[in-house]
């Protein structure tokens, strides 16, 4: 009988334990600052490669689904200085910039996170990608 009581008590203790602490401390890997480090431009024949760039362009992702940049989110420019903003969806892996020029529609730009790198894909006839590093 004692063994049964100890067994029931042990099962009660184990079943009351949960792993909520882990889920409460997790944050999305995209949140924070990302600095532009490389660009990929393909001439149209698949021979393109990533090239290192000197740039002060950064993208900052916030918990509320907004994103800001020190450069233009609507087009692929290495230089910062033309601040812009928008929203993002981790579920769909897209950034939607605000206030693009009339000649550039508000596209949904797809992104992929690979380790400490974020690849931002622009709608080009050939491949156009900006690579950012987590800061």
Mean pLDDT value across residues 22-41: 79
Alpha-carbon distances, residue 33 vs 15, 61, 75, 85, 109 (angstroms):
40, 7, 19, 14, 18
pLDDT tens, position by position, 91-104:
999 999 997 776 56
pLDDT tens, position by position, 47-61:
899 999 999 999 999
Percent of the chain topping pLDDT 90 = 50
Cβ burial of 33 (10 Å; 0-12, 13-18, 19+) is middle
pTM greater than 0.85 (yes/no): no
Is the pLDDT assigned to residue 13 strictly greater than 50?
A: no
CATH, range 27-134: 2.40.128
């Amino acid at each position: 009988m004692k063994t049964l009581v100890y067994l029931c008590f042990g099962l009660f203790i184990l079943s009351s334990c949960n792993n909520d602490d882990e889920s409460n401390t997790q944050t999305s890997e995209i949140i924070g600052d990302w600095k532009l480090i490389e660009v990929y431009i393909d001439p149209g024949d698949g021979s393109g490669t990533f090239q290192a760039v000197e740039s002060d362009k950064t993208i900052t992702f916030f918990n509320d689904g907004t994103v800001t940049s020190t450069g233009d989110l609507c087009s692929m420019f290495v230089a910062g200085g033309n601040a812009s903003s928008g929203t993002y969806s981790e579920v769909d892996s897209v950034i939607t910039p605000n206030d693009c020029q009339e000649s550039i529609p508000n596209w949904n730009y797809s992104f992929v996170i690979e380790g400490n790198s974020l690849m931002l894909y622009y709608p080009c006839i050939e491949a156009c990608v900006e690579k950012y590093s987590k800061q």
